[in-house]
Amino acid sequence: MRFKLPDFKSLCFGFCMKLLMEKIMISVKKLRRTFGPIVAVDDISFDVDKGQVLGFLGPNGAGKSTAMKMLACFLVPDSGTATVNGHDIITAPIAVRQSIGYLAENAPLYNEMTVASFLNFVCDARNIRGKDRKQALDKIVPSCSIESVYHQTIDTLSKGYRRRVGLAQALIHDPDVLILDEPTDGLDPNQKYEVRQLISNMAKEKCILISTHILEEVEAICDRTIIIAKGNILVDSTPSDLKQKYHGSLEEVFRGITKKTA
C-alpha cells in the first residue's frame, strides 16, 4: 500500500498558518452591542498579536469600555464574536476569564478587606496555592508598589492606591492577555511612570489592550492605536504613522479625527 506524502507547499502553508494563529491573541469579528436605541459598539473587527500593546482611544461614550467588557466576558454581544487566547467569548467564557487579566474602569474591590486578604482571596479564586502563591505575591506586591498599604483596609486607600490594587489582581496570575481599562486613572505622575514602565517590561511576552485618555501614554507604551467614536473604528495605525500622515501631534490628530463624528 502506497502513501501519498503532502507536498512542500502544503506543509509550508500549514506551518505558516499555525504560527500566525499562535501569534494572534485577540481576534475580534464584527462585534456589536446596543443598549436600547443606543449603539455602543457597531460591528468592530481587529486582531492583536502577542508582543503588542494596543491603545484604545476615543472620547467619552465612544464604546471603549463596552468593547473591553465583551472581550472580558462581562457583557454578551448582540452579534459577532471574538477569540481571546484561542477561546471564544460566546462558547468558552470561563476559559477566557481564566486566561486574561482584566482591570475594569471602576474595578470593584471589597472595602472591608485588607489589601493582603483581598489578594489572597483572588489567589483562592484563581487556584494559586502554596509556593506558587508566595511567589506570585512576592512578585506583584512590589511591582505595583503597594507594600506600604498591604495591611490596610481598602476603604482607607486613596484612589491611586485602589487603582494599583486593582492592577495587582489583574496581574497576579501572570496572564498571557491583559485588558486594562484606564490603568493609570487617578495616579500621580510618579505612579503613572511606574505603571507605564511595568506595562512596557511585560509587553514582549504578552498581548496588552489598554484604553486611556492620556495621549502621552499612548506614545510612551503603545506600538499601535485604534481610535473609536460612536462605536465605530475610525483609525487603526501606529502613533508615529498617524503623526506623519496628518502632520501634527497625536492630540491634534485625535481632535481632528473625532470632531468629524461629533
- pLDDT, one tens digit per residue, over 53-107 is 999 999 988 999 999 999 999 999 999 999 999 999 999 999 999 999 999 987 7
Cell of 137: 505575591
What 212-220 contacts at long range (C-beta under 8 Å, 24+ apart), as own/partner pairs, is: 212/55, 212/56, 212/57, 212/182, 212/183, 212/184, 213/57, 213/182, 214/184, 215/57, 215/249, 215/250, 215/251, 215/254, 217/55, 217/184, 217/192, 218/55, 218/57, 218/250, 219/250, 220/196
- pLDDT, one tens digit per residue, over 123-155 is 999 999 999 999 999 999 999 999 999 999 999
Whether residue 24 is contained in a domain is answered as no
Q: Report the pLDDT averaged over residues 180-206.
A: 89
Whether residue 83 is contained in a domain is answered as yes
Range of the domain at 147: 48-259
Whether residue 104 is contained in a domain is answered as yes
Whether residue 219 is contained in a domain is answered as yes
The residue written with cell numbers 503597594 in the block is 146
Whether residue 21 is contained in a domain is answered as no
Whether residue 11 is contained in a domain is answered as no
Task: Compute how many other C-beta atoms are within 10 angstroms of the C-beta atom of residue 246.
Answer: 16
| CATH number of the domain residue 81 falls in | 3.40.50.300
Count: domains in the chain:
1
Whether residue 108 is contained in a domain is answered as yes
